Structure 1
Amino acid sequence: SAGVRRVEAVTAKGCEEYLYMQEDLLREIKSLFENVPDVMQAIQKVIGDNEEMKKQLQAYLKERVEQLKQQLIDKRKAVNGVTLFKLLLPVGAPDTVKEIAYQLRGEFPEKMMFVAGTLVNDKPSLTVMLSDDLVAKGLNASNMVREAAKEIQGGGGGQPYYATAGGKNADGLNAAVELIVKKLAEA
């Protein structure tokens, strides 16, 4: 029935076994914290340290995004009248690549293409971002990524202006990126 609560009770020997299990659990937790006298304080310290490390990691990632973006801006090329940003990284976090793509799109709203080839957990990943004017001219990031993903034995898709793909063959990553650049040159 709706709204009815179930009460569970443990009595006699069952209660004793339950208490022993709880004591064993507490002993295991204490041993994890090297038998500190105040386990709660130790747990709170670990939680606090974890929060601080998360903040430091976020600050580092934000700084790393800025560095990578600036490197891309410095090394940008013009292909067929379009500003091309090409990123090849041996290791890349998808969120970082996406953040860079959207920042570049914001800073270069016209005639801009971003293409990235990265390894995520040892698997190749492709990302393409296009400015709206290129999409209006008929370029489609989703189609480009889908075709290039064959080079990395994978698949993908997305929207006309932003698409990603993943695959299995890391050796084909450079060829996949170059295929996307070639599509831009032919447009």
Structure 2
Amino acid sequence: MPESSQRPLRIAVISDGATGMCLAENLLTTRTAGERQVFVDLITSRPAPAGLLSTAPAPTGTGTPRLRLIGNVQVGADIELEELHGLYDAVVTPDAPALENTDLATLTGAALASAEITAAVFPERPQDVPPKVLELLAARGVAVTSWQGWPAGRSVSADWAALELAARGVPVCM
């Protein structure tokens, strides 16, 4: 097993909006000082945030998917924020009112710095095992939607705000 400083960073982004998707993209494409891989779980209260599920890059089999959507989850009801902090190296809520004027580079840097600090404090966390959040939610009877994508080594740049705006115009039948 590599040194704790080389294990992947696991970051939860709690967001329903374009800011969260953009932050997830930045986290996945920005390398940390130690060139560590970053894995992101996008946790959202909607089953598919504004239809973005179909626009995000799908796995190609050329690498490990590093983005996982966990939808239909209410943080504070289905799972507590403190529990997420115990499962991830960093937990970020980019849509919080206090962060609405924070630029994406600052938010990305703060998330990576927080993850680096947590990873140094908890070096025993498994390297290749995603957080057990899906198992925890299943045990509580929470029906979640889940999807994985964004393989390692693939860079995608999208105007997430424009995609979200366009997706809001598409009718959804349930």
Do both proteins adopt the same fold according to a TM-score greater than 0.5, normalized to the shorter chain? no
The higher-RCO structure (CA 8 Å, 6+ apart) is 2
TM range (shorter): under 0.3
TM-score by length of 2: 0.26
TM-score by length of 1: 0.25
Question: Quick check: which one's helix share is greater?
Answer: 1
